[in-house]
Amino acid sequence: MNALEIVKQAYIYLNEKDILHYFSLMSPNVEFYQTEELPWGGHYHGFDESKIFFSKFSPLIDSTVEISHYIQAGEQIVAIGKTGGVAKLTGKEFSCNLVHIWTVKEEKIVRLEVYIDTDVMKAALTSA
């Protein structure tokens, strides 16, 4: 698979909540990043830390991702779309614009940067 096909497959696995196969697309040294403004945000390195990333957000939100278009720039794929779902603790629905920046080397994902509309997500997570 080429880099774009790998990223598209990652979204299929992610939306199916198939984390085992999702991680099969990753390098063992994969890096994840999302803003620290969210409860699951931060920098995560390697499989073990990246699984912590998932363990932090999976109890808080149930979501799917829809990508409207991709931009490929060498080893990097920029995915633009939305994530939507429900905050489990508040019951509030959300729909956030997103940009994901993936880096793929030697047919493995080595980095994912996640950028979403943080204010929308924080509003869904709070009960006020």
pLDDT for 114-124, tens place per residue? 999 999 999 99
Nearest Cα neighbor of 6 from 66, 77, 74, 101 is 77
The band of 47, judged by pLDDT with boundaries at 50, 70 and 90, is confident
% of residues, the chain, pLDDT over 90:
87
pLDDT for 53-69, tens place per residue? 888 988 999 999 999 99
Average pLDDT for 63-81 = 96
Helices within the chain (DSSP H only)? 3-15, 19-24, 46-57, 118-125
The band of 88, judged by pLDDT with boundaries at 50, 70 and 90, is very high
The band of 101, judged by pLDDT with boundaries at 50, 70 and 90, is very high
CA distance 4 to 75: 9
Say what the pTM is.
0.92
With contact defined as beta carbons under 8 Å apart, do 53 and 47 qualify?
no
Q: Which domains does the chain have, with CATH numbers?
A: 3-125 (3.10.450.50)
- Tokens linked to 112: 């994912």
Query: Residue 87: is its pLDDT beyond 80?
Result: yes
Contacts with 67 (C-beta within 8 Å, 6 or more apart), sequence order: 8, 11, 79, 80, 81
